[in-house]
Amino acid sequence: MHNIIIDTNVFVSSLIQKSYPFRIVYELLIEDKIQLCISEQLLHEYYDVLHRPKFSKYKDFLVQAETLLTTITLKSKKFIPKIKLDIIFDIKDNRLLELADACSADFLITGNTNDFTFSHYKETKIVTPKEYWDNWCTLS
C-alpha cells in the first residue's frame, strides 16, 4: 500500500468533476487501497478550503465536502513534520514536502504544476492525479 499525500486542490477537484481526482478518492482512498498521510496543518487547510463560499455554486458541494472530511479524518494517518523547508515560493506548499519527509511518502499527488515543477522530493514522487492513476495506482 502506498503512503500518499493528497494536495487540497485534488480533493476540491474530486468534488466538482468525476475525473482522476474523483477516482483516486472514491476508488482508492475510500476503499483503503492507499494510506493517506496528513499533518494537523494540512487537515486544517482541507477544512478551510473545502468550506470556502465560492464552492457553494456546485450542487451539494458542502454536503459532499463534509462527508469527505469525515472520511479523511477516519482513514488518514497523522504525522508531525520535524523539519521546516523553504523550497517552494508558495510557503504553504512547503508543508507538503515537510510532511513527505515525516511520513516517507511514496507519492505527493497535486494538480499544482506551477509550484511543483520538480518530479521528486527525496524518495517521494510528485505526480498529477492522472499520472498517478495511469502509472502507479495498480501497484498500491
CATH entry 3.40.50.1010 includes domain 2-139: yes
Q: What is the pLDDT of residue 138?
A: 63
Concatenate the DSSP letters of all residues of the chain into one string.
-EEEEE-HHHHHHHHH-SSHHHHIIIIIITTTSEEEEE-HHHHHHHHHHHT-GGGGGSTTHHHHHHHHHHHHHHH-EE---------SSSHHHHHHHHHHHHHT-SEEE-S-TTT--SSEETTEEEE-HHHHHHHTGGG-
Q: Would you write out the chain's pLDDT as a tens digit for each of its 140 residues? A: 899 999 999 999 999 988 999 999 998 888 889 999 999 999 999 999 999 999 989 989 999 999 999 999 999 999 999 989 888 888 888 999 999 999 999 999 999 888 888 889 899 999 999 999 998 766 54
Q: What is the pLDDT of residue 90?
A: 80
The torsion of the CA quartet 84, 104, 135, 133, rounded to 10 degrees, works out to -70
- Indicate the domain borders of the chain: 2-139
